[in-house]
């Protein structure tokens, strides 16, 4: 647990639980978000990420535990008195006010002078590059521009922490990708702590310094994007983040020198792990870590499906033992493989992650 006076911690949850009746939405969460960090709560629908954000904002009060902002316990402080601002997916702009007046609105509530309202609202609009559209009404803006106006309104009060609940969810894919990069660049420039909620793992990987992957009201892995992608700590994380091949295996021997596993009709040695000879295991490997080709020690398969994705080819192989492997390779302009074609599939054992087999997530 962090020192409460530590200026490096912007948001802290200590043993926070939230129950709605007998249902536990957030289950004893301990979390410290660093000042200036782009922190993402990621997970499937219903995992508790929005409730966690609402607990930080003060829209919900914890059933148990404490919420601290900048080292101060705000568990009992109402939302409007907390030094945070929330941006929602539906931009919630006032349709009858101009963009400038929308952005100035929080300052009007605080009864700042007209001149100061205008100056600060214009500065916020410049941050999101909307200064040229200050006089328009929200209906005269595109979806991306409306979202930027909502961001400017959130930034105008200079919050220490910005809470963002699926803020890009209503945008089409191309704009969403552009806004991801813009939002990340803006966060770096302003140095404000962002707590971002999304169910989109690719968005989380692109934008975040750290990600808390949630399931059933708990954090199952808190990690950097590379940590979560390259070293998932559970089958759930391996499957939720990116595409993953799950292959059935059996432990031949296990000791300090390594774990010998039989899979795809081959034996291979993996780093030591807490499994015993005879255990059924699941091995996870990313599609881009598989290669076509390899010597006679590489398992053989037959190409079943081929998808052309522009930059990449996605190839699905049926292996000799019946398992199915997805392989991705860059479109290097070489000849296309043809369905039905046999190939050996090579990979390095160090790219395999080993998990005890979960009967609910059996490999195909």
Nearer to ligand ATP, 17 or 316 (CB): 17
Beta-bridged to residue 222, according to DSSP, are 212
CB of 45 to ligand ATP, least distance (A): 3
Distance CA 249, CA 69 (A): 47
Strand order of the β-sheet with 72-73 is 23-34, 9-20, 64-69, 72-73
CB of 2 to ligand ATP, least distance (A): 24
**Which member of 40, 50, 208, 357 binds ligand ATP (CB under 6 A)?**
50
Does position 201 bind ligand ATP by CB under 6 A? no
Which backbone phi and psi does 188 adopt, to 5 degrees?
-60, -45
Does position 196 bind ligand ATP by CB under 6 A? no
Distances (CA, A) of 191 to 160, 164, 187: 9, 15, 6
**Which member of 5, 22, 45, 311 binds ligand ATP (CB under 6 A)?**
45
Does position 219 bind ligand ATP by CB under 6 A? no
**Which member of 14, 49, 85, 353 binds ligand ATP (CB under 6 A)?**
49
Cβ neighbours of 290 (radius 10 Å): 23
CB of 23 to ligand ATP, least distance (A): 6
**Which member of 47, 133, 195, 251 binds ligand ATP (CB under 6 A)?**
47
CB-side exposure of 325: number of CA atoms within 13 Å? Answer: 33
DSSP state of 337: P
**Which member of 11, 48, 100, 128 binds ligand ATP (CB under 6 A)?**
48
Does position 40 bind ligand ATP by CB under 6 A? no
Query: C-alpha angle with apex 23: 19 to 24, nearest 5 degrees?
Result: 50
Distance CA 146, CA 150 (A): 6
**Which member of 3, 23, 276, 332 binds ligand ATP (CB under 6 A)?**
23
State the residues that interact with ligand ATP by CB under 6 A. Answer: 20, 23, 25, 43, 45-51, 199
């Amino acid at each position: 647990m962090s020192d409460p006076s530590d200026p490096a911690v912007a948001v802290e949850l200590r043993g926070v639980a939230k129950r709605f009746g007998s249902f536990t939405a957030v289950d004893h969460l301990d979390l410290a978000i660093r000042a200036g960090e782009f922190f993402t709560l990621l997970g499937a629908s219903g995992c508790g990420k929005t409730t966690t954000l609402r607990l930080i904002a003060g829209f919900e009060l914890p059933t148990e535990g404490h919420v601290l902002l900048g080292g101060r316990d705000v568990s009992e402080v109402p939302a409007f008195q907390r030094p945070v601002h929330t941006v929602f997916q539906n931009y919630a702009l006032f349709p009858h006010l101009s963009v400038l007046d929308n952005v100035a609105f929080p300052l009007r509530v605080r009864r700042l002078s007209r001149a100061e309202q205008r100056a600060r609202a214009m500065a916020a609009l410049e941050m999101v590059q909307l200064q040229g559209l200050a006089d328009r009404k929200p209906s005269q803006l595109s979806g991306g521009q409306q979202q930027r106006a909502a961001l400017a309104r959130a930034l105008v009060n200079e919050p220490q922490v910005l809470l963002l609940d699926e803020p890009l969810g209503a945008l089409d894919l191309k704009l969403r990708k552009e806004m991801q990069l813009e939002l990340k660049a803006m966060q770096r420039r302003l140095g404000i702590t962002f707590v971002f909620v999304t169910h989109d793992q690719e968005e989380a990987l692109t934008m975040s310094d750290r990600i808390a992957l949630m399931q059933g009201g708990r954090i199952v892995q808190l990690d950097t994007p590379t940590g979560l992608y390259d070293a998932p700590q559970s089958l759930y994380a391996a499957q939720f983040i990116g595409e993953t091949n799950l292959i059935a295996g059996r432990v031949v021997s296990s000791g300090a020198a390594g774990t010998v596993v039989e899979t795809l009709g081959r034996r291979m040695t993996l780093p030591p792990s807490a499994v015993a000879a005879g255990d059924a295991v699941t091995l996870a490997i990313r599609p881009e870590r598989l290669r076509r080709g390899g010597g006679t020690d590489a398992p053989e398969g037959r190409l079943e499906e081929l998808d052309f994705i522009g930059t990449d080819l996605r190839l699905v192989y049926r292996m000799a033992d019946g398992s199915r492997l997805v392989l991705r390779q860059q479109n290097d302009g070489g000849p296309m493989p043809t369905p039905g074609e046999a190939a050996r599939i090579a990979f390095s054992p160090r790219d395999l992650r080993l998990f005890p087999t979960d009967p609910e997530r059996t490999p195909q």
